[in-house]
Amino acid sequence: MAMALRAASRVLLRAGSRLGRREAVDGARRFANKRVLVETEGAAGATRIAVMKFRNPPVNSLSLDFLTEFVISLEKLENDKSIRGVILTSDSLKRGNQTKVAATEKTEEKRATRDHGGRLQERPGIFSAGLDLLEMYGRNPAHYAEYWKAVQELWLRLYLSSLTLMSAINGASPAGGCLLAITCDYRIMADNPKYTIGLNESLLGIVAPFWLKDNYVNTIGHRAAERALQLGTLFPPAEALKVGVVDEVVPEDQVHSKTLSVMAKWLAIPDHSRQLTKTMMRKATADNLIKQREADIQNFASFISRDSIQKSLHMYLEKLKHKKG
Ligand SMILES: CCCCCCCCCC/C=C/CC(=O)SCCNC(=O)CCNC(=O)[C@H](O)C(C)(C)COP(=O)(O)OP(=O)(O)OC[C@H]1O[C@@H](n2cnc3c(N)ncnc32)[C@H](O)[C@@H]1OP(=O)(O)O
């Protein structure tokens, strides 16, 4: 009987919820949309931590679909009173037997790295490549407006989240990837000189929006942000630590365990006092966007539609496509 009940509950859990699949795995729980996998750790009834793993091949770019699924997953976690902390990380792992398909093949599927079975794979060593350039190139103004609204939404949700958010940065983290990280309360980066983090928009011929600039200033200070934004600096781990883009750099295989142990310290602080303090520190910056959200969307749509900006994006995409290594 007990076995039958367990089997039935497994079937129900796997039948899927409206938002995605939900499974029971070794006492831990997980739910997954197509592009975001959420695993929760900790016993039922106790404080639990969730790990949100990005898996949007090939480079975890913030496509419209990914942004939508991210917000849905975050909302679910915000509504789950047993969850107090969330770790953002990439599902990208070093895997063998990968083949990069020809750069001339254009569709999303074809752009991705695949294994020999033809399955889509993340490219290894990427936290997030930032905003999806293909959402900002060659589309119409209505699409740009829809996309930007979704980008703003994710930033506001993360920046104002009542949860303790930490990023376990296990790969390259340019531009929007850095945005995800700097909305968090704490950042731990893998000590791999191949991984860099920063806001490199100026290198693409585009400009970081004022609210992202404000988030950067709040993180690393005005002078450092002024210099890094103009130069589009991508910091390797040691420099990222020095300037304050990240809070800790640890060996790659310790990123997850270290983040869990720092999270435990943060969760020892009473929620109400930590949350009020966070709001006190962040509200003015967020309000600045909230009060001019529509204007910011219109600015983005008209800026990104300019011929000169589209040309810069085109050149940047071509450079990415033809780069060596
Ligand atoms: C004055 C008014 C102002 C108004 C406001 C205006 C606001 C404008 C704001 C704009 C804000 C932008 C923030 C951003 O996030 S822009 C995106 C910036 N991202 C990057 O620059 C990252 C680019 N990518 C890389 O550097 C590398 O790809 C990587 C992440 C380091 C990974 O390198 P790797 O060698 O492993 O992989 P590939 O380079 O071969 O890439 C694999 C394929 O993926 C494609 N790709 C890469 N990045 C993106 C991306 N961000 N979006 C879409 N596609 C991406 C790449 O082209 C490869 O495709 P291919 O297989 O077809 O060649």
DSSP string, 116-142: TT--EEPPSSBS---B-GGGSSS--HH
Separation of CA 38 and ligand 1 centre (Å) = 24
Query: Is 42 an active-site residue?
Result: no
- List alpha helices for the chain, DSSP H: 2-14, 64-79, 108-111, 141-159, 176-182, 210-220, 222-231, 237-243, 255-267, 271-290, 293-305, 307-322
Backbone angles phi, psi at 31, to 5 degrees: -135, 155
Model's pTM, two decimal places?
0.88
Report how far residue 119's alpha carbon sits from residue 72's, in angstroms, rounded to the nearest whole number: 25
94, 320, 323, best to mutate for ligand 1 pocket (most atoms within 8 Å of CB):
320
The catalytic residue among 20, 125, 171, 176 is 176
Separation of CA 273 and ligand 1 centre (Å) = 39
Query: Is 45 an active-site residue?
Result: no
pLDDT of 122 reads: 74
Contact yes or no for 267/210 (Cβ under 8 A): no
pLDDT of 45 reads: 67
Pocket of ligand 1 contains residue 298 by CB under 6 Å: no
Pocket of ligand 1 contains residue 200 by CB under 6 Å: yes
Separation of CA 131 and ligand 1 centre (Å) = 7
Contact yes or no for 144/301 (Cβ under 8 A): yes
Nearest to 317 by CA among 158, 81, 132: 132
| DSSP structure string for 212-261 | HHHHHHHHH-HHHHHHHHHHT--B-HHHHHHHTSSSEEE-GGGHHHHHHH
Tens-digit pLDDT profile for residues 188-221: 999 999 999 999 999 999 999 999 999 999 999 9
pLDDT of 33 reads: 82
Nearest to 218 by CA among 288, 163, 272, 153: 288
Q: Which whole number is the average pLDDT over 164-180?
A: 98
The catalytic residue among 201, 229, 239, 313 is 201
Structural tokens at position 203: 């290198």
Residue 124: cis peptide before it, omega within 30 degrees of 0: no
The catalytic residue among 131, 163, 180, 234 is 131
pLDDT of 106 reads: 40
Q: Which residues contact 20 (CB under 8 A, 6 or more apart)?
A: 31, 32, 33, 34, 69, 72, 73
Q: Which whole number is the average pLDDT over 125-146?
A: 98
What percent of the chain lies above the pLDDT cut of 90?
Answer: 76
- pLDDT greater than 70 at residue 172: yes
Pocket of ligand 1 contains residue 209 by CB under 6 Å: yes
Place of tokens 């781990």: 237
pLDDT of 46 reads: 75
CA-based end-to-end distance of the chain: 58
Tens-digit pLDDT profile for residues 87-107: 999 997 644 334 444 333 444
Separation of CA 95 and ligand 1 centre (Å) = 22
Supply the DSSP symbol for 145. H
- pLDDT greater than 60 at residue 123: yes
Structural tokens at position 250: 């640890």
- pLDDT greater than 80 at residue 160: yes
Structural tokens at position 10: 């497994």
Q: Which residues contact 120 (CB under 8 A, 6 or more apart)?
A: 57, 58, 109, 112, 113, 114
Residue 319 one-letter amino acid: K
pLDDT of 22 reads: 47
35, 56, 59, 155, best to mutate for ligand 1 pocket (most atoms within 8 Å of CB):
59
Separation of CA 177 and ligand 1 centre (Å) = 10
Query: Is 201 an active-site residue?
Result: yes
Pocket of ligand 1 contains residue 198 by CB under 6 Å: no
Q: Which of 31-35, 66-70, 82-86, 137-141 has the lowest mean pLDDT?
A: 31-35
Across the strands, what pairs with 99?
114
Pocket of ligand 1 contains residue 282 by CB under 6 Å: no
| DSSP structure string for 168-210 | EE-SBEETHHHHHHHTSSEEEEE--TT--EE--GGGGT----H
User: Which of 11-15, 24-28, 272-276: highest mean pLDDT?
Assistant: 272-276
Pocket of ligand 1 contains residue 131 by CB under 6 Å: yes
Structural tokens at position 37: 């996998």
Strand duo 113-115 + 98-100: pairing:
antiparallel
Q: Which whole number is the average pLDDT over 105-116?
A: 47
- pLDDT greater than 50 at residue 308: yes
Nearest to 125 by CA among 37, 68, 48, 189: 189
pLDDT of 114 reads: 54
Tens-digit pLDDT profile for residues 219-277: 999 999 999 999 999 999 999 999 999 999 999 999 999 999 999 999 999 999 999 99
Q: Which whole number is the average pLDDT over 161-174?
A: 98
Query: Is 176 an active-site residue?
Result: yes
Pocket of ligand 1 contains residue 262 by CB under 6 Å: no
The catalytic residue among 33, 170, 192, 200 is 200
Q: Which atom of ligand 1 is nearest to the CA of 106?
A: 62
pLDDT of 193 reads: 96
Residue 285 one-letter amino acid: T
pLDDT of 266 reads: 97
Provide the 10 A C-beta neighbour count for residue 14.
11
Pocket of ligand 1 contains residue 196 by CB under 6 Å: no
